[in-house]
């Protein structure tokens, strides 16, 4: 019976252990406060018309844009995966530059995914984050960090030639000695077309921020000029808008990256017709 | 936060010093026991040949890398009661981690030391283990799915007697060549009861407990996400959660009954089907939840004369138990919930396999075998899986007969009927329920002691997904070393239009291969064209894209 007492003791110990976790105080959820910063986060959204979970991700992106007003710039990349037009589609959103950019951002687990300032977050397997509920959390994290450069943008559009000229003024907050890169994206929104969702096809879905062109290399162009504190560096880019695109629904997004880490330091966006 | 490289180096140095110390001590104290070294080498190498007609394109391997592979070198040294092992893993342009992308990495995938001191067994390093059937805890490796969630930590097992032991362990879970920062602690005790030599009743009762603490980073991410939730969807999260399991195996003559009940305390997990209200008024699906979970699983096996049967049942609710609630797909699982369907091996019957739904599932399975004579046997398997809201997920009726008239011939034939909710399992919106009927046969003829020929034929009739298929395989064996095989899979009644095509096309997927075995070495080379499909291992599945290319595998025991 000595053995049985030992067993009873052990199982009693187990029972005690089972009830240890009853007293933990829940972590309080603080009210949301918009970070006091002029930083703008570049969101490169890997999506496609055949991505059934993307409408949910797009709703979360809209929520992010209203939660962090003016602090995000979205580029929707319809690259190689899940992007073939549906039989209900009127348009094909794929573009070679989108495929190249998606390849540049590989690997990723699946769509929807988003690169948030191209940061690699701890415990994420890849730079693109595929759990959309984490996007606000990561954006909040990025907005609390310091950045190096302010950006001012303006555009001039000539409706006759359909040429848009972008003037970008880069204003370093401190003198920067490391190599930086600049990327310029042209996007178009408010396009109504079919989109796959879980269980059905949405025939009239509003597609936003579709990447149409890049005015730099896929990986960005090196900034050759010195970046000196409080000395604005002016950069100019031109783009001829194809007849099939609507300039009133188009934006230009610019992003400055650290050439070594690839992380985006600052982003900005401007409408082509202001 | 991940362990910093410097800390990891320090940690590894300490571990090697400890390992050397243990080995030296054992060598000194057991000079007469010289010990022995064992091991294995497994190599997979793929040459990717782009074929846009079957959707085998667009991945880095097809577009620019062309070659990918992986290897595992496993060495184990035993001396006396000490066992030490190490495994070197290498992945180059591998499609194992993510079938839709390329992954490279190499390093020590596992090391461990085990030592027994009388009634005490201790183990340190990367540990594989499980409690009961694994419902509250299972650390294991499944290479085809890139699952290796071993516990980097220590384990102690004390045997009070031959019938009673208690085991404790603690550590952090492996993540490829990193570790997750959450911690896992566990206790497990088993008691064996026999009621004397005259009474054939035995009981093996076990009790298990798991304590999980998520990391500060994981909590911060959850809290930041919850901040953007409306009050209706918010909750107050906690760091710690607990899982308990009570299980028992009763054996009486030819009857074996296993019963396990598991409970999980309130725990944070992501539910992709939970409705969520967005601040802009839109209603979407998918949010973090904070709920209790439970699993009840039972299995009853018995034999009556020529009949043997296994009945299984399972109910699962909110049992997504991971080291970090922000992880998804096959990453970070602490629990393993047993599957409730037949693990098919033939190509077409295995095409639609369900994976365990850890948030909502109720299922049962019956497997019956009847031996009509020494030459003839029948196997019937029926399984049914629903969600807790009674949404149909999976149905299977599998009927197989084996007839062996003499030593030269072996006939297997049967039919399978499946209903598979592709909408839920693969999240394909216009898919619905895939319904299939698959008659199949497998005939083996031994021409002589060294020569044999085997023929497999299967036909899948379905109006859904890719449509109907025909599969045939011929395998010629020249014992003891050579096996030659060729097979075709043909989409006889195609329903799906592949990328670049304007209508569904009849496509042939051929395979040609040869296997060479010599002593403890096995080499295989195959030219393969393979359609997109589900790859499963023990109820854990994932959708893999089409493959086109050459596969080489080497398996060697050292």
User: Token pair of B167, please?
Assistant: 């085991």
Q: Pick from B97, B164, B187: which is nearest to A17 by CB? A: B187
Contact A123 B430 (CB under 8 A): no
CA B219 to CA B316: how far, in whole Å? 26
pLDDT of residue B7: 47
Cα distance from B319 to chain A (closest Cα, Å)? 18
Cα distance from A227 to chain B (closest Cα, Å)? 32
Out of A140-144, B228-232, B459-463, give the one with best mean pLDDT.
B459-463
CA B92 to CA A154: how far, in whole Å? 46
Q: Does pLDDT of A233 surpass 50? A: yes
pLDDT in tens, B342-361: 989 999 999 999 989 999 99
Band the pLDDT of A20: cuts 50, 70, 90: low
Contact A200 B430 (CB under 8 A): yes
In B, minimum Cα distance to A85 occurs at B499
pTM above 0.95, yes or no: no
Band the pLDDT of B5: cuts 50, 70, 90: very low
Cα distance from A164 to chain B (closest Cα, Å)? 33
Band the pLDDT of B3: cuts 50, 70, 90: very low
Tell me the backbone φ, ψ of residue B55, rounded to 5 degrees. Answer: 70, 20
Kindly state whether residue A12 falls inside one of the protein's structural domains. no
pLDDT of residue B56: 86
Q: Within a 10 A sphere around the Cβ of B531, how many other Cβ atoms?
A: 20
Kindly state whether residue A7 falls inside one of the protein's structural domains. no
Percentage with pLDDT > 90 across chain B: 71
Kindly state whether residue A22 falls inside one of the protein's structural domains. no
Tell me the backbone φ, ψ of residue A102, rounded to 5 degrees. Answer: -65, -40
User: Token pair of B236, please?
Assistant: 């107050």
CA A111 to CA A78: how far, in whole Å? 10
CA-based nearest residue to B479, from B450, B454, B453 = B450
Provide, as residue numbers in chain B, all residues whose Cβ is less than 8 Å from the Cβ of A27: 219, 223, 236-239
CB-based contact B531:B54 (threshold 8 Å): yes
Tell me the backbone φ, ψ of residue A206, rounded to 5 degrees. Answer: -90, 115
pLDDT in tens, B530-553: 988 777 666 666 777 889 999 999
pLDDT of residue B13: 53
Contact B189 A20 (CB under 8 A): no
Provide, as residue numbers in chain B, all residues whose Cβ is less than 8 Å from the Cβ of A10: 166, 189
Contact A59 B284 (CB under 8 A): yes
pLDDT in tens, B132-167: 999 999 999 999 889 999 999 999 999 999 899 999
CB pairs A-B closer than 8 Å: 160
pLDDT of residue A265: 97
Q: Which residues pair with B141 in a beta bridge?
A: B148
Band the pLDDT of A14: cuts 50, 70, 90: low
Q: Helix or strand or coil: residue A227?
A: strand
Kindly state whether residue A249 falls inside one of the protein's structural domains. yes
CA-based nearest residue to A185, from A208, A149, A206, A212 = A212
pLDDT of residue B384: 97
SS3 percent helix, strand, coil of chain A, rounded to 5, is 20, 35, 45
Burial of B232 (0-12, 13-18, 19+ CB in 10 A): exposed
B232 reaches A (C-beta below 8 A): no
pLDDT in tens, B256-292: 999 999 999 999 999 988 998 877 777 778 899 999 9
Instruction: Name the domain count of chain A.
Output: 1
Provide, as residue numbers in chain B, all residues whose Cβ is less than 8 Å from the Cβ of A137: 220-225, 227-228
- Name the DSSP class of A242: P
Kindly state whether residue A21 falls inside one of the protein's structural domains. no
pLDDT in tens, A115-131: 999 998 876 778 899 88
Provide, as residue numbers in chain B, all residues whose Cβ is less than 8 Å from the Cβ of A63: 228, 278-280, 282
Cα distance from B45 to chain A (closest Cα, Å)? 20
Q: Pick from A11, A20, A52: which is nearest to B429 by CB? A: A52
Provide, as residue numbers in chain A, all residues whose Cβ is less than 8 Å from the Cβ of B326: 123, 131, 134
Question: Residues A146-180, buried b or exposed e (16+ Cβ, 10 A)?
Answer: ebbbbbebebebeeeeeebebebebebeeebeeeb
Kindly state whether residue A118 falls inside one of the protein's structural domains. yes
In A, minimum Cα distance to B179 occurs at A123
Provide, as residue numbers in chain A, all residues whose Cβ is less than 8 Å from the Cβ of B427: 52-53, 198
User: Token pair of B149, please?
Assistant: 């969630």
Domain coverage including residue A173: 37-271
pLDDT in tens, B71-106: 999 999 999 999 999 999 999 999 888 887 788 999
Cα distance from B125 to chain A (closest Cα, Å)? 21
Tell me how far CA of residue B65 lies from CA of A125, B96, B528, in angstroms.
21, 15, 18
Kindly state whether residue A19 falls inside one of the protein's structural domains. no
In B, minimum Cα distance to A136 occurs at B225
Provide, as residue numbers in chain A, all residues whose Cβ is less than 8 Å from the Cβ of B278: 59-60, 62-63
Contact A21 B102 (CB under 8 A): no
Contact B189 A11 (CB under 8 A): yes
Q: Please name the residue ranges forming H helices in B228-291.
A: none
pLDDT in tens, B433-489: 999 999 999 999 999 999 999 999 999 999 988 899 999 999 999 989 999 999 999
Cα distance from A15 to chain B (closest Cα, Å)? 10
Q: Within a 10 A sphere around the Cβ of B262, how many other Cβ atoms?
A: 28
Collect all residues with Cβ–Cβ distance below 8 Å to B197 and sequence separation of at least 6.
none
User: In the predicted model, what is the mean pLDDT of residues A183-205?
Assistant: 91
Cα distance from B2 to chain A (closest Cα, Å)? 7
pLDDT in tens, A84-106: 899 899 999 999 999 999 988 98
Contact A14 B187 (CB under 8 A): yes
Q: Pick from B166, B223, B430: which is nearest to A29 by CB? A: B223
B284 reaches A (C-beta below 8 A): yes
Provide, as residue numbers in chain A, all residues whose Cβ is less than 8 Å from the Cβ of B264: none
> In degrees, to the nearest 5, what angle opens at C-alpha A101 toward C-alphas A97 and A104?
140
Contact B209 A14 (CB under 8 A): yes
Kindly state whether residue A16 falls inside one of the protein's structural domains. no
Contact A134 B161 (CB under 8 A): no
Provide, as residue numbers in chain A, all residues whose Cβ is less than 8 Å from the Cβ of B423: 198-199
pLDDT of residue A240: 96
DSSP codes of every residue in A127-159: SSB--GGGHHHHHHHHHTS--SEEEEEEEEEET
Q: Could you give the ipTM of this predicted complex?
A: 0.72
User: Token pair of B39, please?
Assistant: 């091991």
Contacts with A, B 300-359, CB within 8 Å? 324, 326-329, 331
CA-based nearest residue to B136, from B24, B366, B297, B279 = B297
Provide, as residue numbers in chain A, all residues whose Cβ is less than 8 Å from the Cβ of B240: 21, 24
Cα distance from A253 to chain B (closest Cα, Å)? 25
SS3 percent helix, strand, coil of chain B, rounded to 5, is 10, 60, 30
CA A195 to CA A209: how far, in whole Å? 15
Q: Residue A101: which CATH number?
A: 2.60.40.10
């Amino acid at each position: 019976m000595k053995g049985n007492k030992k067993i009873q003791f052990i199982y009693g110990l187990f029972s005690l252990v089972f009830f240890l976790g009853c007293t933990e105080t829940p972590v309080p959820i603080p009210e949301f406060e918009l970070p006091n910063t002029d930083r703008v986060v570049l969101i490169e959204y890997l999506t496609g018309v055949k991505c059934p979970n993307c409408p949910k991700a797009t709703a979360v992106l809209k929520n992010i844009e209203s939660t962090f007003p003016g602090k995000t710039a979205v580029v929707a990349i319809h690259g190689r995966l899940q992007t073939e037009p549906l039989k209900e589609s009127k348009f094909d959103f794929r573009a070679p530059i989108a495929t190249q950019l998606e390849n540049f951002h590989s690997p990723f687990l699946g769509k929807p995914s988003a690169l948030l300032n191209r940061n690699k977050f701890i415990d994420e397997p890849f730079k693109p984050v595929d759990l959309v509920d984490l996007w606000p959390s990561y954006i909040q994290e990025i907005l609390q960090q310091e950045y190096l450069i302010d950006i001012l943008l303006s555009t001039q559009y000539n409706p006759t030639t359909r040429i848009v000229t972008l003037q970008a003024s880069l204003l370093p907050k401190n003198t920067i000695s490391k190599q930086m890169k600049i990327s310029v994206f042209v996007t178009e929104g408010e396009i109504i077309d079919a989109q796959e969702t879980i269980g059905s096809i949405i025939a009239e879905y509003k597609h936003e921020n579709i990447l149409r062109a890049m005015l730099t290399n896929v990986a960005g162009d090196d900034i050759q000029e010195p970046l000196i504190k409080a000395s604005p560096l002016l950069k100019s880019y031109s783009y001829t808008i194809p007849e099939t695109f609507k300039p009133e629904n188009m934006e230009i997004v610019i992003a400055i990256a650290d050439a070594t880490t690839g992380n985006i330091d600052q982003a900005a966006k401007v409408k082509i017709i202001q | 936060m991940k362990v910093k490289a410097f800390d990891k180096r320090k940690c590894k140095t300490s571990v090697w010093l400890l390992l050397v110390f243990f080995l030296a001590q054992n060598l000194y104290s057991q000079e007469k026991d010289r010990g022995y070294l064992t091991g294995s080498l497994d190599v997979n190498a793929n040459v990717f040949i782009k074929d846009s007609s079957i959707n085998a394109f667009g991945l880095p391997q097809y577009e620019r890398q062309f070659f990918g592979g992986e290897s595992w070198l496993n060495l184990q040294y035993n001396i006396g009661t000490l066992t030490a092992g190490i495994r070197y893993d290498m992945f180059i342009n591998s499609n194992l981690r993510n079938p839709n992308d390329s992954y490279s990495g190499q390093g020590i995938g596992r090391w461990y030391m085990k030592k027994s001191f009388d009634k005490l067994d201790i183990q340190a390093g990367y540990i594989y283990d499980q409690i009961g059937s694994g419902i509250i805890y299972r650390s294991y490796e499944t290479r085809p799915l890139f699952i290796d969630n071993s516990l980097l930590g220590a384990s102690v097992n004390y045997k009070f007697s031959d019938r009673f032991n208690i085991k404790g362990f603690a550590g952090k879970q492996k993540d490829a060549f990193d570790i997750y920062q959450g911690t896992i602690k566990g206790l497990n005790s088993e008691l064996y009861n026999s009621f004397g030599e005259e009474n054939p009743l035995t009981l093996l009762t076990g009790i298990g407990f798991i304590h999980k603490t998520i990391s500060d980073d994981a909590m911060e991410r959850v809290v930041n996400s919850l901040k953007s939730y409306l009050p209706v969807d918010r909750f107050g999260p906690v760091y710690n959660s607990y899982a308990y399991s009570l299980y028992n195996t009763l054996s009486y003559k030819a009857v074996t009954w296993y019963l396990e009940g598991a409970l999980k305390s309130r725990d944070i997990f992501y539910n992709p089907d939970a409705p969520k209200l967005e601040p802009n008024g839109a209603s979407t699906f998918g949010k973090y939840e904070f709920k209790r979970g439970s699993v009840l699983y039972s299995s009853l096996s018995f034999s009556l004369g020529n009949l043997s049967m296994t009945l299984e049942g399972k109910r699962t609710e909110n049992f997504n138990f991971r080291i970090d609630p922000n992880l998804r797909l096959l990453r970070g699982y602490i629990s393993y919930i047993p599957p409730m369907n037949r693990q098919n091996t033939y190509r077409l019957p295995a095409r639609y396999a369900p994976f365990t739904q850890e948030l909502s599932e109720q299922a049962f399975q019956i497997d019956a075998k009847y031996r009509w004579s020494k030459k003839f046997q029948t196997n019937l398997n029926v399984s049914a899986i629903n969600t807790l809201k009674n949404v149909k997920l999976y149905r299977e009726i599998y009927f197989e007969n084996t007839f062996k008239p003499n030593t030269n011939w072996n006939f297997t034939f049967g039919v399978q009927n499946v209903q598979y909710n592709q909408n839920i399992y693969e999240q394909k919106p216009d898919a619905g329920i895939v319904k299939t009927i698959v008659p199949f046969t497998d005939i083996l003829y031994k021409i002589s002691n060294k020569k044999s020929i085997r023929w497999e034929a299967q036909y899948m009739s379905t109006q859904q997904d890719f449509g109907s298929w025909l599969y045939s395989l011929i395998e010629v064996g020249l014992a003891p070393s050579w096996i030659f095989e060729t097979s075709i899979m043909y989409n006889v009644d195609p329903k799906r239009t592949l990328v670049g095509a304007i209508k569904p096309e009849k496509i042939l997927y051929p395979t040609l291969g040869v296997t060479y075995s010599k002593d403890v070495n096995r080499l295989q080379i195959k030219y393969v064209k393979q359609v997109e499909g589900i790859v499963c291992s023990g109820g854990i599945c994932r959708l893999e894209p089409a493959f086109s290319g050459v596969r080489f595998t080497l398996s060697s025991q050292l």
